[in-house]
Every structure is written in structure tokens, then in C-alpha cells.
Chain A
Amino acid sequence: MAQPEGLLYSKEHEWLKVEGDVGVVGITDYAQNSLGDIVYVELPREGQTIQQFGSIGVVESVKAVSDLYTPVGGVVTEVNKALEADPALVNRDAFGEGWLYKVKLAGPAELEQLLAPSAYESLVAEG
């Protein structure tokens, strides 16, 4: 399955969409599928400063709890409050309504550490 274009990816299966100086972060469809039914997402606080690849939350499914590593650093500007009531949004629409949080990007250099869709696709294909 091809990965959506226009996004950047991390090895920890998060995606990043750059919109000006803000990045939108989520987990990939591959990640949600491996986790199974997601029951809870613990997100960073708005206003929190986060470091690239730092552990900043957890995604909990019926069978596993997985740490959430942010693909980029910066200041969290918004979190997806809809996930509180309906964490299954991540299962249903990982690249869309299931986004996790937005972050004011620390700097463009960090983006170079991330994978293009084709590179992420190869990573997933290797299993």
C-alpha cells in the first residue's frame, strides 16, 4: 500500500504534515493497524515544548500500549480534543480526522531527519 504523498514520516510510524511554520502530527495507517482497536490516546499539553524523537505520550489499544515519539520538536499549539471522546478516530482515519497534535516547528533542519513516503513505504515493507 502506497503511503500518502505530501507527508513526512518517522521510523516510529508517525507522520508529519507541514503547514507553514506549523506541523500536524499523527500515527500512520500501518501503526494503527498493528495496534488494533485504539482505546485511549495520551497527548502532550498545549504550550508544552517537545524535543524531536522524544517520548511525549502513549497510544493504548486493547492489546498494547505504545509510546508516542514526536517526529519534530517545538511548542505544541493544539491537540485533537475529539480523540478524548472517540479514540477510534485514529483507527478510522489515521491520516485525517485521527490527527494527534499540532506543533510550532523548532526549525527546518529537523525535517531532514524524516523519511519521504517511498522511504517509509520500504521500511514498512521490510516489516
Chain B
Amino acid sequence: MSERLIFETGQPGRANTYFPNGRTADEFLPASALRDALPLPDNSELDVVRHFTRLSQKTFAIDTGFYPLGSCTMKYNPRVNEAMASQPGFKDLHPYAPDPLAQGALRVMYELERSLSAIFGMSAFSLNPAAGAHAELTALLIAKAYFAKIGQGASRTTVIVPDTAHGTNPASAAMVGYKVISLPSDARGRVGLEELKAAIGDDTAVCMMTNPNTLGLFEDHIHEIAEAVHAVGGLMYYDGANANALMGNARPGDMGFDLMHLNLHKTFSIPHGGGGAGHGPVGVAERLVPFLPVPIVTLDESGAYHLEHEREDAIGTMRSFWSNFSHAVRALTYIYANGGEGLTRVSQLAVLNANYVRARVKEFLPTPYDETCRHEFVATAQELKRETGVRALDIAKALLDRGYHAPTVYFPLLVPECLMIEPTETESKETLDGFIAALRDVVETAKRDPQAILDAPVHTVVGRIDETRAARHPDLRWVG
């Protein structure tokens, strides 16, 4: 049943008494500065509560079910993180509070920065960028500033991006004026060393990779790749989207990466909140530290923390204020809850869960790269589509009917009819078994009665949506 829009309910004057009714704006301000009517609805608090409660009930979330969404790391979001972030000492702290009166907040940022540097083997991190794509842009601006500083600004013009990369990589490269060279994967689903060597040269600015890659495979030649890129004077960039596979096991810094970003909303358990806010710290090797965006938190000899706003070679600043600070509190809380051993275990169990699901799924759905994976793997519905007409998208929709979120579909682009599955470490064996059974049921039903799957979903509040109509005749707002 559809829920009426908030603009279609309520009555003018049905005001909640949050604020006293005082004077009017025209007693202070010239009429020319004032607006006409304020055409917003007045609803009772109870009606508002019911409206948004009902909307929440029409929303799938980690708290309502399993999310095998590849590349998104939909792990449990511990509630202690929320309790910590919402303390008045953090949430009511103004960004222009003087440093001596904000020591707790600065300490959170400092200790998070040090922890991330240790976990990923980088010299320093900046907490400035707001999200993953924002961090990519930041890192590429750092690369651009670095090359300008060493007199190679004009000659370093290209960015190498493997075809398994996230779509944000080439989009970010374009935003700093770099030309993108796409690198095909080899038969093993990795970056081929020879192809890479052919593509790089003294025009190479940055090679952007993720490891494990989006097929869930470890780039086992990463050391040689980094050496080759460094030999031509280029920088190695690590896309941290898949960092949940690595902690305590391997570090991008040791692999030869000079720049990296993290999605704290993936690996470090910050809630996704329906698509943001995220948090995307950028880490760098020693020689790139001077270019990090400001402000930077520093610790002096007396044990006092400071926010440093001026640095000669800094690329500038990326956002209104210092960081997505509430998320820094959540991430630090998560790191201290787990400790070094716990984080190592997190990555091991994330890999175990993925391999367990892979081993059982390949009994009924082919997995094109049949080897031990890391935190995620890909399966393909190519054969099923040929036999029955049921595509990856249809499988996704049929899973929704069975109470599970869909895996990521049609990504990475090089596997046709791709389903990318990342279970994360916080799911129990029973939950995984339930999901495997549901997926098996979908595949078997498709073979027996494909139309039943093509019609899915039928148990959701709405059926498949007319995307063409949405794009041809965009209705992006209510009009009274």
C-alpha cells in the first residue's frame, strides 16, 4: 500500500509547539529581503512518527536481513559506535571550538590516523575527504601536485585503470584532467604484467588498482607491478574498497602503494545510512605527506593536539570542515573494540565466509575463476540465461522475494551476467546456509519454471519499476 507524501497530509496551522510564537521578520528586516509564503506542510508529531515509521518498514537494511552485496562490505554496524558518536561532548562540539577546548575530538582524529597508518602500512592519513570517490579525487590531486613539484606536471598525463576497477576510478581521473588507459585482465583475472609494462611510460602519472581486485582475487604479482610502475616514475594508487580482506595479513604500503583511500563505511563498520554519509581517509607514503589536504591533526611534545591549517605544499582543502568527524568516532570505537588481533581475525573470517559460500554455490552456478577467493567472489548466470532466459538481474529480483538482498549484479564488467557476492565476517554459518539454499532454489526454479523467476519480485511492496518512464519523464519532486 502506498504511503501518501508528507506534502499531501496535515493541515495549515497544525503546528507543533517546539518554539515560542514571537515577533515577525518584517519587524527587523526590509520587506524586499523577505520571501512570500512558505509552502511547507504542518503535520502533527504523531502523524510524522507514523509516516516515517511506515517508510522505515518499507526499507531493507542490514538490521532486517542478509546483504551479500559484493564490493560493499555490508557488515553489522555495532550499536556502541552510535552511542559513542552521539555523546554531547562530540555531537555538540563546534568546528571552530579552540583547539585547547577540543582535545578529545583531536585525540580521536589523531589516534584514528595513527591506527589506519599502522594497519595499512602508510606514513600518514588525511581524514579530510568525505567518501570514497571524494578520496580518489583527493589522492589524484596529491599526485598532480607532487608531479608539478618535481617538474613533471606537464608530462605525466595518464592514469592506468584495470578493467575490473570501480567506475569512480576513471571518473575521478577525468576530474583532474588525466587521460584514462584501461588495462584488460589476463586469463587468470589479474592485471597482466606484460600488458601493464606495455601501457606504462614516462607519461604515466598513476596506476589505480585494488587488491584483492573486484573479482575477489589477490593480485599475486603486485610487487612486480609496483616495481614496474615505479621504474617509469609513476605512482601506485590503492582503492581501499576491498580492504576488509587484508587486515593483519598484508598492507598496501608493503605492496608498494604510494597512495590509498579507505571506505570507513565498509571495513570499519560505519552504517551506510541509505547511501551516505561515508568517510574516505587518504593514506600516503612518506614523500607525499607534504601534499595532504589541510587541516592535519598534530601532537606536540607537551601532549597537546592541534589542528594545522596552513601547509605550504598542501593541495588545499576538500570540504567545508575538517572531517566527517562522527564517523571518525565510530571507526576508532570499532578499532579499539577489535584490537590488532581482532582485526586480523575479521579479515580471516570474511575470507572464510566468502570461500564457504563460493564452494557451495559452484555446485549449481558456475564461478568463472575457480580458485580460493578473498572476501568476495563472482558467479555467472551466462549458461542459465542461455538455457532458460533468466538473467542475473532476474536472480537478484527473485532473491528479494525470498527475504535476501540481491548480490551486486553486472559488475565487474568483464564477467557476463555476473553476480558478485560478499558475505562479510559478521554473518553466521546458519545465515549463509539459508542464503545458499535460497539461491539454489532460484536457480532450480529457473530451470523448471523460468517465468516464475522472470515475474519476480512478487512479495515486495512494489514490483519491477518502469525505469524508462522514470528517465524519459523525470518526476523528481512533488508539485502541489
Contacts and interface: CB of A to CB of B under 8 A. Distances in A.
Interface in A81-113: 87-88
B24 interface: no
In this complex, the interface size class of chain A, counting residues with CB under 8 Å from chain B, is under 10
Contacts of B471: 37, 39-40, 60, 62
In this complex, the interface size class of chain B, counting residues with CB under 8 Å from chain A, is under 10
Nearest to B473: A39
Interface string A29-46: 000000001011000000
Nearest to B467: A62
Contacts of B472: 37, 39-40, 87-88
A40 B471 CA distance: 8
A37 B466 CA distance: 11
A37 B467 CA distance: 10
Contacts of B467: 62
B59 interface: no
Contacts, number: 14
Nearest to B472: A39
B468 to A, nearest CB: 4
Interface in A49-70: 60, 62
A88 to B, nearest CB: 7
Interface in B444-480: 467-468, 471-472
Contacts of A62: 467-468, 471
Nearest to B410: A63
A87 B468 CA distance: 11
A29 B468 CA distance: 19
Interface in B147-168: none
A44 B472 CA distance: 19
Contacts of B468: 37, 39, 62
Contacts of A88: 472
A43 B467 CA distance: 23
A60 B472 CA distance: 10
A66 to B, nearest CB: 14
Interface string B56-93: 00000000000000000000000000000000000000
A36 B380 CA distance: 23
A40 B468 CA distance: 10
A93 B468 CA distance: 18
A88 B468 CA distance: 10
A60 B468 CA distance: 11
A40 B472 CA distance: 7
B175 to A, nearest CB: 17
A60 B471 CA distance: 9
Nearest to B468: A37
A27 to B, nearest CB: 17
A86 to B, nearest CB: 8
Contacts of A87: 472
A39 B467 CA distance: 10
A55 B271 CA distance: 42
Find the residue from A37, A40, A87 having the highest chain B CB count within 10 A: A37
Nearest to A36: B468
A87 B469 CA distance: 11
A62 B464 CA distance: 14
Contacts of A37: 468, 471-472
Nearest to A87: B472
Contacts of A39: 468, 471-472
A88 B466 CA distance: 14
Contacts of A40: 471-472
B413 to A, nearest CB: 12
A33 to B, nearest CB: 15
B400 to A, nearest CB: 20
Nearest to A39: B471
A73 B439 CA distance: 54
B244 to A, nearest CB: 29
A55 to B, nearest CB: 14
14 contacts: A37-B468, A37-B471, A37-B472, A39-B468, A39-B471, A39-B472, A40-B471, A40-B472, A60-B471, A62-B467, A62-B468, A62-B471, A87-B472, A88-B472
Interface of A: 37, 39-40, 60, 62, 87-88
Given A39-B472, A60-B471, A62-B471, 9 more contacts: A37-B468, A37-B471, A37-B472, A39-B468, A39-B471, A40-B472, A62-B467, A62-B468, A88-B472
Closest 4 CB pairs of A and B: A39-B471, A37-B468, A39-B472, A62-B467
